[in-house]
Amino acid sequence: MSSLYEQLPIYKKALDLAVYFETIVRHFDKHNKYCVGADLCNLSRQILILVAEANTRQNRQAKLQEAVEMLGKLKITIHFCKEIKAFRSSNSFEFATRKTIEVAKQCEGWSRCQNSSSGKP
């Protein structure tokens, strides 16, 4: 039995992002795998959970705002990983960045849609 949030495009993108990080971090060297790699995986899973929780009516705006903040932290961590050359290729960095931005745009769009439908600015 699938949950209601599993059909959301934003949930699917966030899930893809979390799965991607779990896959790519396996190729990090030992030190980076257990330091920044763990951060990438943990942040992406937290974002996935927040998106699922935002699907409930209660505290939607707060959950979306928290997800946007986590996405900001994830972007910083991705950039840091690029600087320390944790990614095996620049394609990995570009893909991770692109996917993170896609999820962030969907979160922000969903948040704006909620604000306009509830009469908030």
Give the span between the Cα atoms of 69 and 114, in whole angstroms.
18
**Percentage of residues in the chain having pLDDT higher than 70:** 89
Burial 81-115 (b: 16+ CB within 10 A, else e): bbeeebbeeeebbeebeebbebbbebbeebbeeee
pLDDT tier at 116, thresholds 50, 70, 90 = low
**CA Rg, the chain, in Å?**
15
Q: What is the pLDDT of residue 49?
A: 94
Query: What pTM value is reported for the model?
Result: 0.88
Comparing 109 with 119, the larger pLDDT belongs to 109
Q: What is the pLDDT of residue 4?
A: 66
Check if the beta carbon of residue 42 is closer than 8 Å to that of residue 95. Answer: no
Q: What is the pLDDT of residue 56?
A: 78
Give the span between the Cα atoms of 95 and 14, in whole angstroms.
13
Mean pLDDT (the chain) is: 90
Give the span between the Cα atoms of 5 and 12, in whole angstroms.
9
pLDDT(57) > 80: no
- Backbone angles phi and psi of 88, in degrees to 5: -70, -30
The mean per-residue pLDDT over the stretch 8-36 comes to 95
The matching CATH number, chosen from 1.10.10.10, 1.10.3210.50, 1.20.1440.60, 2.30.29.30, for 4-115 is 1.20.1440.60
